[in-house]
Amino acid sequence: MDTLALAAALSIAVTVLLVGLAIVAGGAAGSRLRGRLEGVLSGEGPAPEAAEALRETTSPLTMIRAFLSGEWLGKVENDLRMADSELKPVDLLAIRVALAGLGFAVPFLFIGGVIGFVGAVAAAGIGFQLPQMWIKQRKAARAKKLEEQLPEALTMISNSLKAGFGLLQSLSLTADQLSHPVSTELAQTVHETNIGSSMDESFIALSERCGSYDLDLVVTAILVQRTAGGNLGEILENVAKTMRERVRIRGEITTLTAQQMMTGFVIALMPVGVGLLFLLVSPEYITPLFTESVGQMMLGVAVVLETVGVMVIRRILAIEV
């Protein structure tokens, strides 16, 4: 018990330390940015006080960054950008470790024993994954909004091309008139082309940044047109019509599968409802599930099977168009 208590105390200490380091890292990054901007605007190089503060404040998170893989950093940075988050990869890692530490400490300290330790391990795993789940949800929301904006953006680009504007001018006009995220991505593509990248490289980078099937289709159409020729305005107009048709079909599929989705969730919640009913009507009948080792094992297996069932139902009803 003493060893486990020591482990819980250490996890709390590590959590507090990592949160503090994340705050310090954010302050150091802000000082560095302000120093560079002040130096550039004044023409005298980085501000001396900012540079001195940086030398005196060497964040341990920056040292951790040196040990992390460049590929991992690139992937996490791209995920954070696609989630419209201002966090840095190392800050995200600190938050995940901090939540894992809190998740481990709280159940163990308040419950104790073997059950508390098992719950602490499970809570630590959940706490570690929560930020990643949040990022995944933000990415999905951003990608959905981008795909909803694409037909309108393609129509505006097509109309601009038919009016005699060039492709870059059309992209710039569309970016000015639409909202984030499609405006941000188109503006960055125009900016990359203006600073020296070829148009093909800029569009390929746009496709890689967004990771959207619809946008990949648009980029492929533009690249093929630049190679084989053709009326780009009509091509983009046809692509926009195809996307609108896909959106309509998705809506119909969602409507047709809504009842089956609800049925699946009701079936999954039925055991929980029955268990609560027995707990109210006849507590002595269901109490062994929580007090006996065999009952706890059966309860754990039931939870796993319920989770697998819900995942299978969601997978069956996730129809790609």
Mean pLDDT of 84-94: 87
Q: What is the pLDDT of residue 157?
A: 95
Residues 90-146 pLDDT 10s? 888 889 999 998 888 888 787 766 667 777 888 888 899 999 999 999 998 998 899
Question: Helix/strand/coil (H, E, C) string of the chain?
Answer: CHHHHHHHHHHHHHHHHHHHHHHHHHHHHHHHHHHHHHHHHHCCCCCHHHHHHHHHCCCHHHHHHHHCCHHHHHHHHHHHHHCCCCCCHHHHHHHHHHHHHHHHHHHHHHCCHHHHHHHHHHHHHHHHHHHHHHHHHHHHHHHHHHHHHHHHHHHHHHHHHHCCCCHHHHHHHHHHHCCCCHHHHHHHHHHHHHCCCCHHHHHHHHHHHHCCHHHHHHHHHHHHHHHHCCCHHHHHHHHHHHHHHHHHHHHHHHHHHHHHHHHHHHHHHHHHHHHHHHHHHCHHHHCHHHHCHHHHHHHHHHHHHHHHHHHHHHHHHCCCC
The structural domains of the chain, ordered by start, are 2-143 (no CATH), 147-247 (1.20.81.30), 257-317 (no CATH)
Check whether 47 has a pLDDT greater than 70. Answer: no
Check whether 294 has a pLDDT greater than 80. Answer: yes
Check whether 30 has a pLDDT greater than 50. Answer: no
Mean pLDDT of 70-91: 83
Higher per-residue pLDDT: 111 or 60: 111
What's the predicted TM-score (pTM) here? 0.67
Residues 149-173 pLDDT 10s? 999 999 999 999 999 999 999 999 9
Across the chain, mean pLDDT equals: 79
Q: What is the pLDDT of residue 37?
A: 41
Q: What is the pLDDT of residue 178?
A: 92
